[in-house]
Amino acid sequence: MSFKKYLLTGLLVWLPLAVTIWVLLWLMGLLDGVFQGVVTGLQAISPETDTAFWEQLKHIPGLGPVLVFAGLLLTGAMVSNVAGRWWLGQWERLLTRIPVFKSIYNSVKKVSDTLFSSNGNAFRTALLVQYPRAGSWTIAFQTGSPSGEVAGHLGDDFVSVYVPTTPNPTSGFFLMLPRADVIELKMSVDEALTYVISMGSVAPGVVTPPTHP
């Protein structure tokens, strides 16, 4: 019995670290692949005398994530001023004139602006909702409120929610529910996601107010 107990205890110690390292290595491999694709494209249009340089550049491990991070940081700094925002507007106007491409670009831009904009409310509130039937409760995240034609049919007292699946929260269901049918939780979004991913085994800590004599 002690052997099994020690084995499970060791597994609980090392499994989170192993999974974390695996995810980071997968992400680095993905970014390196994107970087190598860009370098291959630049190599194709460069003189043959530069082939050795591009080949050496492609085989530097970890260079992709570093350059992607630096590029994101530099882009953010550039578009934070008036001149940068003007150039960004010109670039977006050019992209939105390309057939087919503009439909995909506009859709992705609207979603990214909603999720990552500091002024947006998407995924900033954890909710408790009844799903898939009355009496069954699960964690959801508020993504906004119905608008346009949908709001005209439903009215103003509805909220848009995303119900993630377990243990993969990147897939889920989009629902529009009456505001009276959802319960807003005080837990953070990170705590709620952990609760979902762990299939309810890692419950968020309950903060109790201090008692005064």
pLDDT in tens, 95-146: 878 888 778 877 777 767 666 665 555 677 899 999 999 899 999 999 888 8
* CB-based contacts of 174, cutoff 8 Å, min separation 6: 143, 160, 161, 162, 163
Cβ atoms of residues 106 and 96 within 8 Å = yes
* d(C-alpha 150, C-alpha 18), whole Å: 45
Q: Tokens 């201090």 identify what position?
A: 210
Q: What is the pLDDT of residue 212?
A: 46
Cβ atoms of residues 35 and 63 within 8 Å = yes
Q: What is the pLDDT of residue 24?
A: 83
Q: Determine the 3-state secondary structure of 129 from DSSP.
A: strand
| Model confidence at 4: pLDDT above 80 | no
Q: What is the pLDDT of residue 36?
A: 80
* First vs last C-alpha separation in the chain: 48
Sheet holding 126-130, edge to edge: 172-178, 158-164, 137-144, 126-130, 183-184
Token output for 157: 């007292």
